[in-house]
Chain A
Amino acid sequence: MILLEVARKDLTLYARDVRFLATLGLFSASLTLILSMAFGPIYQDAPREAAATMWASLFFAGVLGLTRSLDMEREAGGGDALRMSGADPYAIYLGKTLANFLLLAAVFALLLPLTSVFFDVGSLSGLPRVAGVAAIALLGYSAWGTLFAALARGLQARELLLSVLLFPSLIPLWIGAVKLTHALWGEGGTASVGDWVKVMLVMDVLGLGVAAWLYEPVQEAGE
């Protein structure tokens, strides 16, 4: 199955580049530390500040991951090979989205305990629901991020432009993730901010849907 093969290829490239993975982990951990110091030592609203810190760190680290995935593909020449293979462009896109999603999920797995310790928030019983929020947010981030990263492939200063494209566009996902995580850590439920789940799901579906239509021309433009 092309989707899984592409995801496996990208994940293998990530796994081979240990220095990149270490840098990504250190970068996101440093961001969390700096923001927790900025908010602390006495927190006004620990669940709110913790949620904002974790998601800001994750979104910034995500840009680093997306940019690196482009560089690795160019260095390894895998992108050209994939395009010439005649594989369905949308399957290629989904495979890349899956790989980026798993990379971000790994960063989330690192940041969640760090944030919990620094801000003294969260509990094991609430973990599945926080993970659920993360799954929705990171799926949307990967869906849009993979499309934008493909767009930025041939641009000069693509790291900067990718940030300029991603951050304003993904504001609904970011606010939703912060609101829901804050509610889960603060109130133990999402009843007061439940509408955000719908907004984030719409973003996910839109990202995957728009890419189904636009990824092929974007891929052609990069040739």
Chain B
Amino acid sequence: MTRTVPEGWRKAARFVWIAALVLVALSLVMVVRAPTERVMGPVQKIVYVHVPSAIATMIAFGITFAAGIAFLTTRQWFWDALGAASAEVGLVFATVVMITGPLWARSAWNTWWTWEPRLTTFFILWILYAAYQVIRSSLRGPSKRTISAVLGIVFFVMYPVTVYSVNLWRGSMHPQNVTMQGNMRQVLLTSMLAWVVFYVAVLERRLRLEWARRAAEEERLGVGAPAPRGHVAARGAEARGR
């Protein structure tokens, strides 16, 4: 993996950012113009942020899981950076879900929170990935990457079991599938696409930060300039790049 961001990457990132901004703007306009639901009124429009954020969260944590496997297999720095970046961005989207959910529930169920299976499992997921951030930030040295990868895998493996088990616990009030028709369906699909592309754009920025950190660290250790083969600084860079 190169020490600086590849040129092709920069070009692709520019395109993704433009696409994300255009799509988010378009989706917001569509949300404003979308028909108002008869029973819930304007509050129903929270769904256009809530559902796409939940999908972005699952994609983000899925990428952390895949990056964890890739890191343990290859021991390449990039996979650790991708997993950590995706977990962090995913936690932000999960927080959006946790905020918008109760806002919707207050209107739909007349309560901010209820111990309902989907809510409970999502709250568990949020706690686990928040713990991931705490643990990662408290680690130093080479174990940081390995433990982060293991946590990214374990949390994602455990999630389907938790969802299934809590569904057995009590009947779910949460809609299992969001079914919409006509204009409302188009708004939802556009919002989903917009949030997923926005996630990719933010992930790219976060990854670039990791790249910059790594470059700064190498510069501090004096491995930015070409070091003689076998020099301690070069060995350090090789070890970190593994």
Which residues from chain A sit less than 8 Å from chain B, CB to CB? Answer: 147, 151, 154-157, 161, 164-165, 168-169, 171-172, 175-176, 179, 195-196, 199, 202-203, 206, 210, 214, 217-218, 220-222
Contacts and interface: CB of A to CB of B under 8 A. Distances in A.
A27 to B, nearest CB: 24
Interface stretch (B160-168, B176-184, B216-224, B228-236): B160-168
Contact of A210 (B128, B139, B153): B153
A221 B155 CA distance: 18
A45 B155 CA distance: 34
A171 B146 contact: no
A217 B139 contact: no
A151 B155 CA distance: 13
B135 A155 contact: yes
Contact of B157 (A156, A157, A196, A210): A210
Given A175-B165, A175-B166, A203-B161, A151 B138 contact: no
Given A154-B139, A156-B138, A221 B165 contact: no
Nearest to A179: B169
Interface string B61-103: 0000000000010000000000000000000000000000000
The 5 tightest CB contacts between A and B, nearest first, are A172-B165, A221-B143, A221-B146, A168-B124, A164-B131
Interface of B: 72, 124, 127-128, 131, 134-135, 138-139, 142-143, 146-147, 149-151, 153-155, 157-158, 161-162, 164-166, 168-169
B161 A214 contact: no
A179 B139 CA distance: 38
A176 B169 CA distance: 9
Contacts of B168: 195-196, 199
B135 A220 contact: no
Contacts, number: 77
Given A168-B128, A195-B168, A151 B147 contact: yes
Given A169-B162, A196-B165, A206-B161, 8 more contacts: A164-B127, A168-B124, A168-B131, A169-B155, A171-B165, A199-B161, A203-B161, A222-B143
A157 B153 CA distance: 23
A221 B142 contact: yes
17 contacts: A151-B147, A151-B151, A155-B138, A161-B131, A164-B131, A168-B131, A172-B165, A179-B169, A196-B168, A199-B164, A199-B165, A206-B157, A206-B161, A210-B153, A210-B154, A217-B149, A221-B146
The secondary-structure label for the interface of chain A is helix
A176 B162 CA distance: 11
Contacts of A169: 128, 154-155, 158, 162
A168 B127 contact: yes
A218 B153 contact: no
Contacts of A164: 127, 131, 134
Contacts of B158: 169, 206
A195 B164 CA distance: 11
A210 B153 CA distance: 9
Contacts of A179: 169
A202 to B, nearest CB: 6
Most chain A CB atoms below 10 A, which of B131, B142, B150? B150
A214 B139 contact: no
B160 to A, nearest CB: 10
A155 B168 CA distance: 35
A158 B162 CA distance: 24
Contacts of B128: 165, 168-169
A148 B124 CA distance: 17
A214 B149 CA distance: 10
A222 B147 CA distance: 9
Contact of A161 (B135, B146, B157): B135
Nearest to B75: A217
Contacts of A202: 161
B142 A175 contact: no
B150 A151 contact: yes
A176 B161 CA distance: 12
Given A168-B128, A217-B150, A218-B147, A161 B134 contact: yes
A168 B153 CA distance: 15
A154 B166 contact: no
Nearest to B151: A151
Contacts of A161: 131, 134-135, 138
